[in-house]
Amino acid sequence: MPIEKTKAIVLKSQKLGETSKIITLYSDDFGKIKVVAKGARSLKSRFMGSLEDINYISVVFYYKENRDLHLINQADIIEPFKQIKSDLVKYALASLACEMMIRSQIEGHPNKSLFKLLLNYLYELCTVSEQSEIYFFWFQLNFLINNGFKPKIDKCLHCSKSYSLDETYYFSYARGGYVCQECDAEDITKLEISGRSLKFLSELDDLNYIKSLSEPVPSNIVRETSLVLYRLMQYHVSGLERLSSLEFLRNVWSY
């Protein structure tokens, strides 16, 4: 039973028996893994607060090949993301990303760029002061790209004409692109989307673009972007057909 060390983000913890916990981690070297933390719920536990949700930790564990559960030996906090945990909206947005990882990723399949994306997202959420949901959109779009699905936003799927900012189009989330109203084909998955939202979506994967925004993103663009990304994720990423916490948040924000 080899002993392994890696860095990981705590996605979720569940009670196990009287005193222990099962922790779901997304790790740099092993992807999603589940570990048992014996005695983690007792007051004298050596794990202390290190296994709280959304902590970034360094972890040592006994790796059991072909097994679902591994045994954790040591966990040290690298970053507790306190600014996320003290803000309800940020906490909800971070939890959503964790839920996406839990539902969509297969255990034991490392994906270093996805690990880096999640970690960067958490660090960014800590520092952002307004419209933190825009950073969730950035995470969602890059998550889609990482999972092999990049929307085509530069031209109409039918006539290849570029969009103009003041027109309205239809976005087909099944086909991952937009069509002009004249090209409107029978496509039950279309959503109305403005040229300005298409422009926003086309830049959204770039963190520098988001950081360069000097004014709040208008609410209609936020609403359209939110819906398009949500539908793309539901349609194209296995395991994300239904995200109850996202539906709840979208209702709260009336997106």
Count interface residues toward Zn ion (CB under 5 A): 5
Which of 16, 77, 78, 183: binder of Zn ion (CB under 5 A)?
A: 183
Length of the chain counted residue by residue = 255
Considering only residues 141 through 160, tell me which ones interact with Zn ion, judged by CB under 5 A.
Answer: 156, 158-159
Spell out the residues 6+ positions from residue 190 whose beta carbon is closer than 8 angstroms to its own: 170, 171, 172, 179, 184
Work out the angle between the directed axes of helices 88-104 and 112-127 (0-180°, nearest 10): 170
- Of 36 and 183, which CB lies nearer to Zn ion in the complex structure? 183
**Interacting stretch for Zn ion, rule CB under 5 A, among 28-36, 107-115, 177-185, 229-237?**
177-185
3 state SS of 116: helix
- Least separation in angstroms between residue 181's CB and Zn ion is 8
- Least separation in angstroms between residue 184's CB and Zn ion is 9
- Least separation in angstroms between residue 154's CB and Zn ion is 12
Site of tokens 């924000």: 253
> Does residue number 114 form part of the binding site for Zn ion (CB under 5 A)?
no
Q: How far is CA 50 from CA 28, 40, 93, 169, in A?
A: 17, 10, 21, 48
- CB–CB of 98/9 below 8 Å? yes
Considering only residues 20 through 59, tell me which ones interact with Zn ion, judged by CB under 5 A.
Answer: none
Which of 98, 153, 180, 237: binder of Zn ion (CB under 5 A)?
A: 180
Nearest 5°: the CA angle 139, 190, 237 is 40
**Interacting stretch for Zn ion, rule CB under 5 A, among 9-17, 44-52, 122-130, 172-180?**
172-180
Distance CA 32, CA 97 (A): 13
- Least separation in angstroms between residue 157's CB and Zn ion is 7
- CB–CB of 33/25 below 8 Å? yes
- Of 25 and 157, which CB lies nearer to Zn ion in the complex structure? 157
Q: Which residues are at the interface with Zn ion (CB under 5 A)?
A: 156, 158-159, 180, 183
